[in-house]
Amino acid sequence: MDLSEAFRFHGDKIVNRWVEYLLSTYKSSGFFIKEKDKFANPVGGNFREGLQKLFLLLTKGADPKEFHAPLEQIIAIRAVQEFTPGQALAPLNGVKHIVREAFTADKERKHLISELYDFEFSVDLAVIAAFDIYMQYRERLYEVRIAEIRSGNHILTDSKCPSRLLGKEDKTIIKTVNSI
């Protein structure tokens, strides 16, 4: 009975617990956990999909570059919600504890806990990647904001009527000319 078998055996349970743990950071998490339709429940649906993919990658020791797609699915959302960066990312770490908890409760597989170093190191790498992704999305958000300001939308509220401004300038010019 090796580690990969143990991950397969407990996989669904671990991912479910991980998803619920991540979703428990929302004030009203019942619906997010229960509703499985990704379009009716984009937060829960994307988190479930993302963590399922990520867990498989973590357990097979995949190249950390492959973590990006499933992480983005989660972090893009967390980055615009009312969390501090730490709050946004910390639940990713939770999987380490959830795995240990699952193995501890399983007499036949309890001994595998000592072999979890590689898995937990992969989780560390994923969390580090998640920080980069978090910042990438925050920067994108600022760029979106700047692009919107440049697009002219702000003219709605942040500028005077162009023709009215022209009037003022004219008056200043006339005043200046008169004073000369």
Partner 1 sequence: MSVPKLEQLSQSVVQGPSLATGAIPTRDWMDIPVKFKSGNYAYVAKKDKVEYLNSQSGLSFPNAREWSPEEDDWKLPDDWKDIILKGLAERLEKFRSLKIFMDCCVRCGACADKCHFFLGTGDPKNMPVLRAELLRSVYRNEFTLGGRILGRMAGAREMTVGVLKEWFMYSYQCTECRRCSIFCPYGIDTAEVTMMIRELLHLVGIGINWVLEPVSNSNRTGNHMGLQPHTFKDNVEFLVEDVESLTGVKPNISFNRKGAEILFITPSADVFAEPGLYTAMGYLLLFEAIGLDYTWSTYASEGGNFGLFTNNETMKKLNAKMYAEAERLGVKYILGGECGHMWRVVHQYMETMNGPADFLEKPVSPITGTVFENAASSKMVHISEFTADLIKHGKLKFDKSRNSHVKATFHDSCNPARAMGLIEEPRYILDHVVDWVEMPENTIREQTFCCGSGTGLNTDEIMDLRMRAGLPRANAVKYVHEKHGVNMLSCVCAIDRATLTSLNDYWTPGVGVCGVTELVANAIVQEGETRGELEEGLRTMVF
**Least distance in Å: CB of 179 to partner 1?**
29
Cβ nearer to partner 1, comparing 28 with 114:
28
**Which residues sit at the interface with partner 1, rule CB under 8 A?**
20-21, 23-29, 31-32, 35, 37-43, 45-46, 76-77, 80-82, 84, 86-87, 90-91, 93-94, 96-98, 100-101, 104, 137, 140-141, 143-145, 147-149, 151-157, 160-164
Cβ nearer to partner 1, comparing 161 with 180:
161
**Least distance in Å: CB of 138 to partner 1?**
9
**Least distance in Å: CB of 44 to partner 1?**
9
Cβ nearer to partner 1, comparing 18 with 67:
18
C-alpha–C-alpha distance, residues 54 and 69, integer Å:
9
**Least distance in Å: CB of 112 to partner 1?**
14
Cβ nearer to partner 1, comparing 67 with 103:
103
**Least distance in Å: CB of 20 to partner 1?**
7
Dihedral sign (CA 82, 87, 92, 94): negative
Cβ nearer to partner 1, comparing 112 with 176:
112
Contact 88, 134 (CB under 8 A): yes
